[in-house]
Structure formats: C-alpha cells, structure tokens
Amino acid sequence: MEDLNNSTNNIEMSVEQAIDFLRSYIERTKKTQTAVAGELGISSGALSSFLAGNYKTPHTIVPKVKNLAEVSEKKKITLSDPPFVETSVSVMVENAIKYSHLRGRISVVYGDAGIGKTQAFRHYLANNSLAIGITISPTYASITGVNELLAEQLGVRERVARKITNEIVTRLKDSGRVIIIDEAQHLTVRALNHIRCLADESGIGICLIGNEDVYSKLKGTGKADFAQLFSRIGMREPVSINNIKREDVQRVFQDADLPDDAVDILYKICHTNYGLRGAVNVFVNTAACFGSEITAATIARMMRQMNIGR
C-alpha cells in the first residue's frame, strides 16, 4: 500500500490508495461496510462497488475517503487523554492510600475537583492486587449501596443484609487488603459510620477520596455522635489546585513536546476551577482540531471556543 501519510496531507489520494485505506480501516475498526458507508455519506451499495473497483465515478468518492483518512489519523494519534504520570497531587493521594494500607487506619483525601485524585486512585488499584476500589454515586450512598459494591468486589453471594456485612468482614479480616472509596462525598453519615465499623471489625485500612463535603461529614459539628467517626481518621490530606506545579504539567504533556508558552497556558488552566482535567480537555480538543499544530495560539483559540478563561 502506498504511503497514506502523504495522501492525507496535501498530496492527492488515488483511487487505489482510497480502496487500500478503506479495506485497512474496516479491518482495524471492525466496523461494518454499512457503518463506514454512513461515515462517508454514501450508500452501502456504492461502497461495495467502489471497493470492488466497479464504481463508475470513483473520483467522486475519493475526496470523501481522504477526509475520513485525515479524521481517522487525528483520532488515532490525538483523541486520547495523556497516560498517567506521577504528579504532586497523585503522590499525596497515593501516600494517603499507602498509609491506610500499611497501618490499617482510615485516611481521607479531600479537595478540589479535576486535579487528578481519581487518576491516582485508579493507578494504585492497577498496581496493587490487594487494593479494593469502589466509586460511590448517589445510588450507592447508603449502607446497602456500600455493601452491594463491596460484595461484588469480594464475591459475596449472601442476600440478607446482616449476613452480607458479616461475610464482608470475614473476607477482609487478616487479608492485608485496603479499601479505597472514590467520590466519598456522596456517602451518608450512616454509611460512613458503617465503613468505620467495617474497618474496626476487619482491621484493614480504608481511604476515603472526595471533595470538601466528605471531610465536613466526618468532622460533623463537634457533637458526640461524630466523635467515634472523626477520631478514627489517622491521616487527612487536603489537596487543591494550588498543589499543581508547572513541572507536573510538563510531565503530563511530555509526549506532546509542547513549547514553553503552550505549557504556561495549560498550567494557568490548572489553577482555575477547571483544574488539570480542564487542561487535558483543552489539549485533547486542540489536538483533535489542529493535529500536530498544538501551540500557545491554537490552545488559546480552543479555550475561546470552549468558553474557558472568559
């Protein structure tokens, strides 16, 4: 097959190149010919004829194929978040998890959204087979919801609430495991107390990750009914956009080999309410629209399109 990198730039694509690309594209993406025809804006019959070399006016389809090739190349190269790299925030999050894991205590990491807490949570899970991770949504904010998520992770088959809790404790006791709970701000106070009991009875550590609300719930109002819960916190780690350093941004986007002024803009985004997640979104969208032309100017243009920084 001829060099398609040239064909997707300013050099015209031949009929043969277009056919070769489509066959490769269908094989790589596992899409049906009908789906690909839809992407091209032609009928499936026309695509079949074109691939067979029987289409009467192939020159009318070639530009459509060239455009699909250009879009496909951009998506293949740029439409993915940067891989996980260690940042100042991820180190703080993972240190709290390690504390809970090694000491068998409760830790809480709380603060701004979009700064990499969840990425650190996932990274620890991926690299520690003894870690159990659950993510709380409003649907699973109760004691029942927590038990369902933990039961699924531990393979508990009991259906009666008390038996589920007992089986969870039995499987956790002396297991050397740690439970990491992301989006913990959704948990009710009763669910947080339940988690405290699980930690007490099983002797394993639990790390709660969330926004400011989770710490507020743990602290309560200073009343006695919160004392047992709050006193179990062995380590608390507040994190914020202020913890993100310019070196962190350089590491996150190191594969893109960005100019310094582009890094500066992404760093400034990190120190807004959009956080590191916002910087990643701007970068990915810039790459999708401008390909390899990721400069301070194209990033600023994308920010305007996304209504960021106005």
Note the pLDDT of residue 7. 39
Q: With contact defined as beta carbons under 8 Å apart, do 97 and 207 qualify? A: yes
Percent of the chain with pLDDT over 90: 79
Domain ranges of the chain: 4-78, 88-241, 246-305
* Greatest CA separation for the chain: 83
Q: With contact defined as beta carbons under 8 Å apart, do 169 and 198 qualify? A: yes
- Model confidence at 288: pLDDT above 60: yes
Residue pLDDT, tens place only, 72-109: 776 665 556 788 999 999 999 999 999 999 999 999 99
* 3-state SS assignment for residue 206: strand
- Count the helices and strands in the chain (H runs, E runs): 16, 5
Domain 246-305 CATH class label: mainly alpha
- DSSP class of residue 12 equals P
Note the pLDDT of residue 6. 40
Structure confidence at residue 293 as a pLDDT band (50, 70, 90)? confident
Q: What is the mean pLDDT of the chain?
A: 90
Note the pLDDT of residue 53. 93
Backbone φ and ψ of 39, nearest 5°: -65, -35
Contacts (Cβ under 8 Å, ≥6 apart) of 107:
96, 97, 99, 100, 205, 206, 207, 208, 233, 234, 235, 236, 237
Domain 88-241 CATH class label: alpha beta
Structure confidence at residue 3 as a pLDDT band (50, 70, 90)? very low
Instruction: Give the CATH fold of the 4-78 domain.
Output: 434 Repressor (Amino-terminal Domain) (1.10.260)
